Structure 1
Amino acid sequence: MLDLLAPGEPLPVGSVGHRSLGWWGMWMLIATEAALFAYLLFSYAYLGALASGAWVPELPKLKLALPNTVLLLASSGVLWWGERGIRRGARGRLLLALAVTVAMGAVFVGVQLLEWRDKSYGPAAGAYASSYFITTGFHLAHVVAGLLVLLTLLIWTALGKFDARRHAAVSTGALYWHFVDAVWLAVFFTFYLWPRLA
């Protein structure tokens, strides 16, 4: 067994590149989570089609939701910039990008909670309200999970765990964050823009 490693050869450093097993595993997780959101959005549309009378109790306000959407999408751009940096060995750039992305994500969570507080109805007010709070709540839970992943990556980056050769965990974590942002676009269109178009 000991003769499997050549003398003087360095030990493996873990996943090299960005398409590691974790990266493929994240795609499988994204597929299942995308199905969950597809079901939630389909149920919203189905219940809305069956509703007699006014489906939406009040037209959703864009005052908080639109800037919050722009903020979340911009956070994906910042994270992408940091990921590109570590591929070139710029650990400081990744560290800055992760810190900024975490801050932007935390602001998104805070604004979403403010928006919930300002609603004139609660989750039990009807099918629309239930659908709204469940779907945005599931998304918010995914944002919080993404923030925990990004905080872990931030700590590992500060400890010098990543370089131009070894950064698979960064790519995997970034993939999840981009997914969370893409899902928000579907949620935003469904709950904030579609009622205005209809």
Structure 2
Amino acid sequence: MSEAAFRERNLPVGSIAHKSFGWWGMMTLIMTEASLFAYLLFAYYYFMVQYGREWISETPTVNLSLPNTAILLLSSVFVWWGEKGAKKGRQGQQASGLASGVVLGTIFIAIQVLEWRQKAFTLASSSYGSSFFVTTGFHMAHVAAGVLMLAAVFAWSLLGYFDARRNAAISIAAVYWHFVDLVWLAIFFTFYITPHMG
């Protein structure tokens, strides 16, 4: 069997993302995870309506969360750019975009952990603490999973597994990453902006 035939049959990459089982599997996962976050955010708003601002253990600041939001959004831009490079057969652009996504995602996690350590409340101190840490914790776990996905497709990029025709795995990892970013915007608005609103 030739090297090209081996790659065509056995490597974990496909050609067109939206026609692959992996794409539809990822869409199903995203819908399931979106439901999880919808329930978590619903719980926050339910308690906020029931108990008002007194329910919030600590008035949130955006000192770390706002730059962290910018970092995550920038990572999404780089991943999109890398995906576009893959579709055009530009391996340098593809690898650079994916690597930037991995680095920025890792920085996001580190800043989130730093913010957690600065909180005066804990997971067990109140229902607000539980809501905050569970919601941001689940999101951080999703960011970590996304970083691992991006790292895998980055490694495969370095090994030359992708070209302009075969790059479905990059698109699948990218759509998950954009979902994670979108969820963070909802979390950021909920936990960091709404307490300052009337």
Give the alignment's TM-score, normalised by structure 2: 0.92
Structure number with the higher helix fraction is 2
Aligned twin of 1:164 = 164
Query: Deviation at 1:51?
Result: 2.0
TM-fit CA distance, 1:18: 2.3
Aligned to 1:37: 37
**Residue-by-residue CA offset, 1:13-32 (whole Å, 9 max, x unaligned):** 55212212211111110000
Amino acid across the alignment from 1:171:
S
- Provide the identity percentage: 50
**Corresponding residue for 1:67?**
67
- 1: distance between equivalents of 2:16 and 2:53? 55
Q: Given residue 114 of structure 1, which amino acid in structure 2 is its aligned partner?
A: L
1:23 aligns with 2:20: no
User: Would the aligned equivalents of 2:58 and 2:121 in 1 still touch at CA under 8 Å?
Assistant: no
Secondary structure at 1:62 match in 2: coil
Gaps of 5+ in 2: none
RMSD: 1.6
Give yes or no for the alignment of 1:187 onto 2:187: yes
Deviations 1:94-125 (A, max 9, x none): 11111111110010000000000000111111
Answer whether contact 2:53 2:195 (CA < 8 A) is retained: no
CA 1:123 to 1:171, structure 2 compared with 1: closer, same or farther past 3 Å? same
Report if the CA contact (8 A) 1:48-1:128 is conserved.
Answer: no
Distance 2:96 2:52 in 1: 51
Letter matched to residue 33 of structure 1:
E
2:105 pairs with 1:105: yes
Quote the Cα distance in structure 1 between the aligned partners of 2:65 and 2:43. 22
Deviation >6 Å, runs of 4+: none
1:129 is the counterpart of 2:129? yes
Preserved CA contact (<8 Å) 1:94 1:157 = yes
Pick closer, same or farther for the CA change 1:55–1:164 going to 2, 3 Å.
same
TM-score (norm 1): 0.92
Size of the alignment, in residue pairs?
Answer: 190
Letter in 1 for 2:78: V
**What is the Cα deviation at residue 172 of structure 1?**
0.2
1:91 is matched with 91
